[in-house]
């Protein structure tokens, strides 16, 4: 709903496709979030390690959002001890998506064949999933990271924290100029009345799947990803959730951040810099409050405190 969403003319392929397969025994979701990851890369000037880690995380977050309803929201945090620092992504049931990495310029040595070593860039730590479904305290679950490669960390999260056996594939293809050539993902989940045979099959369904990012780079759609994975299990498509890059920051919200600093801190900011400047972690939008703005905020705080 942020103003950034309105001028986003990104293509029709940016959506989550959702459905079932094997007569309703498996839930399937697939996503193309290429242009949104490219938008974030451009805003943060991300290097390939950050692009790969965040693109994968945002693909999973978009699919988690598509599993929600109405105004429900989901936040994914990957807190590792690697050079990328924290990875954060927000999604919701309306298809809004945003995210950032603490250190977008972090670099690590790659695997042989120049394959990005995302696991080393993320490090050891935890994956957190926080769902806000509008009922007071948000629901939160977490698991230790297995590899930091993200897809298997999400599969582990679904199995351990939500008791839902799942297969997850995520992929980002970074071009030679560091722009994002493709980014997307696939989640397969066993539904409660799945047969044992299907449960055993699930573990092998991703084995022969071509990389998600190459399916998308070749012009494929989220449905093509699903066909490649479970095409022989008669997938049925329920709906598509269009995605947009959008941030909830605003000048008004920034004022609340300044109010929280307190009058003393604000006065010393004015003395040092003559203004206050805030940059949004998510979208890099900059909000500048000049001397008069900051004085008005100080006045507002002190008036409320009855000074
Ligand atoms: Zn923002």
**Bridge partners, residue 132, by sequence:** 73
Residue spans per domain, the chain? 3-245, 251-304
Quick one: tokens of 155?
Answer: 């599969």
Phi, psi (rounded to 5 degrees) for 133: -105, 25
CA distance 44 to 37: 11
Distance from Cα 76 to the centre of ligand 1, integer Å: 17
Element housing 223 (H / E): helix 222-230
Distance from Cα 248 to the centre of ligand 1, integer Å: 6
pLDDT value of residue 12 = 57
Query: For residues 28 and 227, is the Cβ–Cβ distance under 8 A?
Result: no
pLDDT value of residue 114 = 78
Is CATH 3.30.450.20 what the domain over 3-245 is classified as, yes or no?
no
- Enter the pTM of the model: 0.92
pLDDT in tens, 265-306: 999 999 999 999 999 999 999 999 999 999 999 999 998 776
pLDDT in tens, 191-238: 998 999 999 999 899 999 999 999 999 999 999 999 999 999 999 999
pLDDT value of residue 113 = 78
Distance from Cα 265 to the centre of ligand 1, integer Å: 23
CA distance 258 to 299: 12
The CA-based angle 161-201-232, given to 5 degrees, is: 120
Q: What CATH code would you report for 251-304? A: 3.90.1280.10
Residues of the chain with pLDDT under 70: 1-13, 306-307
CA distance 139 to 131: 5
CA distance 88 to 75: 7
Q: SS3 for 76?
A: strand
Distance from Cα 97 to the centre of ligand 1, integer Å: 11
């Amino acid at each position: 709903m942020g103003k950034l969403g309105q001028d986003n003319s990104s293509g029709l392929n940016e959506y989550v496709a959702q459905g079932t397969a094997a007569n309703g025994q498996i839930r399937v979701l697939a996503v193309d979030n290429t242009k949104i990851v490219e938008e974030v890369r451009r805003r943060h000037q991300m290097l390939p390690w950050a692009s790969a880690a965040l693109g994968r995380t945002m693909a999973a977050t978009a699919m988690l959002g598509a599993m929600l309803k109405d105004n429900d929201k989901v936040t994914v945090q990957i807190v590792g001890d690697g050079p990328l620092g924290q990875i954060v992504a927000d999604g919701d049931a309306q298809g809004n998506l945003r995210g950032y990495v603490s250190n977008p310029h972090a670099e690590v040595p790659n695997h042989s064949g120049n394959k990005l070593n995302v696991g080393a860039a993320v490090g050891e730590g935890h994956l957190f999933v926080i769902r806000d479904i509008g009922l007071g305290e948000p629901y939160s679950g977490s698991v230790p990271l297995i590899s930091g490669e993200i897809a298997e960390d999400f599969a582990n999260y679904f199995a351990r924290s939500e008791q839902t056996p799942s297969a997850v594939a995520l992929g980002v293809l970074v071009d030679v100029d560091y722009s994002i050539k493709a980014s997307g993902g696939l989640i397969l989940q066993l539904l409660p009345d799945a047969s044992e045979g299907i449960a055993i099959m699930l573990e092998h369904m991703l084995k022969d799947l071509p990389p998600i990012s190459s399916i998308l780079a070749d012009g494929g759609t989220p449905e093509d990803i699903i066909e490649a994975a479970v095409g022989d299990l008669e997938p049925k498509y329920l709906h598509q959730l269009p995605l947009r890059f959008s941030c909830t920051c605003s000048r008004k919200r920034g004022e609340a951040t300044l109010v929280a600093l307190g009058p003393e801190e604000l006065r010393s900011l004015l003395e040092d810099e003559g203004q206050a400047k805030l940059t949004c972690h998510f979208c890099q939008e900059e909000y500048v409050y000049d001397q008069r703005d900051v004085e008005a905020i100080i006045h507002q705080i002190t008036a409320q405190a009855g000074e």
